[in-house]
Amino acid sequence: MKAVIAGGGIGGMTAAICLARIGWQVEVLEQAPEISEIGAGLQISPNGTRILAEIGVMPLLQDTMFQPETIEMRIGATGRQIFRLPIRKAATERWGAPYIQIHRADLLAALTRRVSDFPDAALRVNSKVTGYRRSDRSVSVTLAGGAAIKADLLIGADGIHSAVRTAMLGPDRPRFTGNVAWRAVVDADALGDLAPPPTGCIWAGPGKHAVTTRIRAGRMVNFVGIVETDRWDGEGWSIEGSKEAALTDFGGWSPTFTAIIEQTPRLFRWALCDRAPLPRWSDGPVALLGDAAHPMLPMMAQGAVQAIEDGCVLARELAGEGAPALACQRYFNARIDRATRIQATSAANARLFHRRGAAAQLASYGPIWLADKLMPGLLLARNDWIYGRG
């Protein structure tokens, strides 16, 4: 059986490994000219690292990943701590797998290396999928330039602007959520005493929030800052922004942010978009995964992890009985409720992190602060449905 995967990102490469492990021939088609160092830091929670361990990827991350001792939340302007969770201990003892921070490029390099271990798995760059024609039992995948590849299965892992999704469900535009994100990576030593703590730290403020993490074995600080705005005209992940604009957005916050913005070599901005839950993720032997199926805001650090889960579950269903078309439908049934719930919770977290006014912040953060002091296990338990085995 042969599968074509449109998109060589985290979800697509995970799916390639999972399918190769159950005996499929796999061809990953990536439209970029190379798999390059693009993007920023990711947090991969135990529900993701558990799968990465099962498919042989975790050993390839040991030199570049970082395991924070804690996850915390602070007020952006003052640095006052709201809660602090012992995530490293809880991850292994409660959820059975580590919680890691890593550069997207390092994770993608490890996935690519693992794909290369399978003789029947191949990666082709400069190969853009534009559409498909399918029958009940096969699919003809169309590439830019007019070439076609016949396969038993097509997986659309080609992102929020998925050509496979458009071919399946028709054209539409993702919804701009009213949030724009900044990202930057900077050497921790360059920040000196102003370096953020080596944790996963959410910094909350009126109409905005930021997240700081460590990557490259803790040597680098990753910064993502999300700001509410009325409009955004740009498209793409790699639009450069000015330090002046970033300093305006995060002026009056902890001096840590001034240091990060001033010391980073480059700043990027992008619009945060999403889509309403889709009525289906499959069309016969064609399936969507990751952002092509369920783009979600990053306020739960689950975008990459859910794509990893997608690849694992789809392969599990394909290993079962019946034709690929039936497996694709079972995959949708298995995944839609969970993905939709995480999408909704991520959007709710954006509202929580962006509370305006002292009264609203006290009403929201006060109970969390109190629970952290009196019932820390309660805050951990709130993550069991996400990080646990289910």
Over the stretch 216-254, which tens digit does the pLDDT of each residue have?
999 999 999 999 998 776 555 668 889 999 999 998 999
Lowest mean pLDDT, pick from 41-45, 251-255, 303-307: 251-255
Q: How confident is the model at residue 175 (pLDDT cuts 50, 70, 90)?
A: confident
Distance CA 98, CA 16 (A): 23
Report whether pLDDT(390) > 60.
no
H or E, element range at 255? helix 255-263
User: Per residue in 259-291, pLDDT tens?
Assistant: 999 999 999 998 898 888 999 999 999 999 999
Q: How many CB atoms lie within 10 A of CB 122?
A: 14
Check: CB of residue 44 under 8 Å from CB of residue 100.
yes
Residue 146 belongs to some domain of the structure = yes
Check: CB of residue 79 under 8 Å from CB of residue 93.
no
Of residues 324, 293, 312, 310, the one with CA closest to residue 17: 312
Distance CA 314, CA 242 (A): 41
Residue 191 belongs to some domain of the structure = no
Q: Domain holding 133: CATH number?
A: 3.50.50.60
Residue 133 belongs to some domain of the structure = yes
Residue 77 belongs to some domain of the structure = no
Q: What is the DSSP string of 334-355?
A: HHHHHHHHHHHHHHHHHHHHT-
Distance CA 199, CA 223 (A): 12
Residue 312 belongs to some domain of the structure = yes
DSSP state of 302: -
Phi-psi region of 218 (alpha: psi -120 to 50; beta: other; left: phi over 0): left
Check: CB of residue 275 under 8 Å from CB of residue 290.
no
Residue 196 belongs to some domain of the structure = no
Residue 268 belongs to some domain of the structure = no
Residue 84 belongs to some domain of the structure = no
Domain count, the chain: 1
H or E, element range at 50? helix 46-54
Provide the domain limits for residue 160: 2-38+105-173+276-349
* Percent of the chain's residues with pLDDT above 90: 84
Q: How confident is the model at residue 37 (pLDDT cuts 50, 70, 90)?
A: low
Check: CB of residue 203 under 8 Å from CB of residue 253.
yes
Report whether pLDDT(70) > 90.
yes
